[in-house]
Amino acid sequence: MAEASGSPCRRPDDTSTPELTDSPRRGASNISTSTSSFEAGVQHDPNLNRLAINMFTKTEQYLQGELDSVTGEYQLLTFRRRVPAVTEMNRRTHAKYEEMKAVGQETHSAIEQLNTKYTELEPYLRQLEDVDQSLAKLEAVAIQLDAYSKQLESRFRAVSGR
């Protein structure tokens, strides 16, 4: 047991020690500043208890995260030892990429065929555009000719009707 004279640990039933109600931060109170929960009959600060619980909870979360990280690294290291599973995964991935490669090659060849056909048809398309422009000019001339013929017809009626 600790002696009452020079020991920093004091028992609550020790009458020779100063009273436990003096708080170093807040002065005299009836709340103990002790963080030990083994002192029977001494009331503890509820805020201090809440903070201690919060600290232990966060420490637990931190340590759990560290353990999860180490466990994950270990699993990655041991994953390489499971060669059949890795081989199967690689085989399936390879097959999927081969399928995608085939689709890409088919698309590429289809685009090349379309470009070749367009190159072959381009002179004909130009001719069609030229014919369309000529038809537009011919239509304009036909409209002018129709208007002129109507004008001549009206003059002829005017001359023959007199």
Domain boundaries along the sequence of the chain = 22-32+42-79, 83-132
Q: Which helix (H) or strand (E) holds 27?
A: strand 27-28
What is the arithmetic mean of pLDDT over 100-118? 94
Distance CA 115, CA 80 (A): 48
Q: Is the pTM of this model over 0.75?
A: no
Instruction: Give the DSSP letter of residue 44.
Output: B
Q: Which helix (H) or strand (E) holds 19?
A: none
Are the C-beta atoms of 30 and 43 separated by less than 8 Å? yes
Burial of 29 (0-12, 13-18, 19+ CB in 10 A): middle
What is the arithmetic mean of pLDDT over 102-108? 94
pLDDT of 28-67, one tens digit each? 555 555 555 555 566 777 888 888 899 999 999 999 999 9
